[in-house]
Chains A and B, each alone.
Chain A
């Protein structure tokens, strides 16, 4: 069975999800990766929600959209045709680089889901449990397929400062496919697979 999720996502919808579940997500989400996470923590969170005046408009927008919202770890290939942006290839990027920021961002904005690849660590898992959120794993490299599920690029923020891969792309997606690999009940597929492969390593290369 495939769980359908729509942004904004409720706590109840999150609590119904368990690791291994397949989901299809629809609604307005934002790409955000290394530069964006560093920026959010430094400009919004460390300032206790009092960003410099130049950043206030973006902060207000993100506060509204991230309440029950979704961040996608992705640096897309985009094209501009007749003045309109279009996503050409948009698979996930490796999430673990955001481990030092993600729990702050989940807490501060009441974010409900993070989409990426490779899974995240104990801090993010704890935040998922405490603040009711999930980590959704997309298939890395599936750039064309996911781009086809992006129906519209609504806007882009910080394009000039951060560049195409690192900007905040505000996109409307329909049936974005992913697998729950970290849930709000403290379970992580990644922790299980690591434990199994570590045990096998001890057999294959005992020290």
Chain B
């Protein structure tokens, strides 16, 4: 297997400094919807200008370059240990080049490792697949939006949320209302229903890799994605919580099997600086998506 360290550094650079096209488009159309001269529109203008500057100057869109979350699909016969070493090296190099802020601190002492590596840091998930290519997805998940993520164990009495799609809707809206502008609205919601606590949160983040507008194949869930999106926007929280029409840009949901005893709804909130990109390595050819 070939050494992909430098190619992964480039993936990190692109992810940190240039928003995906679907996010840019969504922010541009949100800007058109807000009142001219409002703080909401001003905030969206700043986001769009910032995006252009970041791409031009090759600098991080946001200083919180977050937890780097790598989703690696690899062919039979590749070594995940070697890939892990390469990813960690790439993260160290990217930190040195200021594409990433040193973001890994010891939980108790608070000491910063200085290079974005540490215990279970960065996050790497491996999936063996039948393709001949290696596909690496990367998401940089900032702390502000991570802190407003929420998990609900249904039924939830105070929310009147039962173990059904209505309960899921209530839980999701509660998470958006509690988040206010703290997660750097307008955000994107990834929602997982089911699983155990750990798997449920991981799967909710996985939804955030889907392109905006991608709908769940189940028509009932697809409809609920739309409903939650529309109703979250009715809350009027607006960009950065300044008030306004745009609170979430999309909602993407999926279900998992669960224990009879458990019914978790996990909501991962992704900020407007939704930094996610991927690369595919096929033989000698490397393409960045």
A binds B: yes
- 0/1 string, B125-167, CB within 8 A of A gives 1: 0000000000000000011100100000000001110000000
Count chain B CB atoms within 10 A of each CB in A75, A93, A139, A145 and give the residue with the most.
Answer: A139
Chain A interface mostly helix, strand, loop or mixed?
mixed
Q: Which residues of A contact B60 (CB under 8 A)?
A: 77, 88-89, 143-144
- 0/1 string, A182-207, CB within 8 A of B gives 1: 00000001101110111011001111
The chain A residue sitting closest to B238, CB to CB, is A193
- 0/1 string, B91-116, CB within 8 A of A gives 1: 00000001011110100001110100
Known: A89-B62, A193-B237. A22 touches B42 (CB 8 A): yes
Q: Which residues of B contact A139 (CB under 8 A)?
A: 43, 46-47, 50, 240
* Contact pick for A93, options B65, B144, B242, CB 8 Å: B144
How far does the alpha carbon of A74 sit from the alpha carbon of B142 in the complex, in Å? 13
Count chain B CB atoms within 10 A of each CB in A91, A119, A141 and give the residue with the most.
Answer: A141
* Contact pick for A143, options B63, B144, B169, CB 8 Å: B63
- 0/1 string, A66-80, CB within 8 A of B gives 1: 000000001111110
Interface size class of A (residues with CB under 8 A): 35 or more
* Pair B64/A163 contact, Cβ less than 8 Å: no
- 0/1 string, A173-185, CB within 8 A of B gives 1: 0000101010000
- 0/1 string, A124-160, CB within 8 A of B gives 1: 0000000000000101111111011000000000000
Q: Which residues of A contact B174 (CB under 8 A)?
A: 201, 205
Q: Give, as a whole number of angstroms, the nearest-CB distance from A64 to chain B.
A: 27
Q: B73 at interface (Cβ–Cβ under 8 A)? A: no
* Contact pick for A76, options B101, B158, B181, B238, CB 8 Å: B101
The chain B residue sitting closest to A35, CB to CB, is B110
List 23 A-B pairs, Cβ < 8 Å: A20-B39, A76-B101, A77-B59, A77-B63, A88-B59, A89-B63, A90-B63, A117-B181, A117-B240, A141-B273, A142-B62, A143-B59, A143-B63, A144-B57, A145-B49, A147-B59, A162-B110, A165-B103, A193-B237, A193-B242, A200-B235, A201-B174, A206-B160
Chain B: residues with CB nearer than 8 A to chain A?
Answer: 39, 42-43, 46-47, 49-50, 53-54, 57, 59-65, 98, 100-103, 105, 110-112, 114, 142-144, 147, 158-160, 169-170, 173-174, 177, 180-182, 184, 231, 234-238, 240-243, 271-273
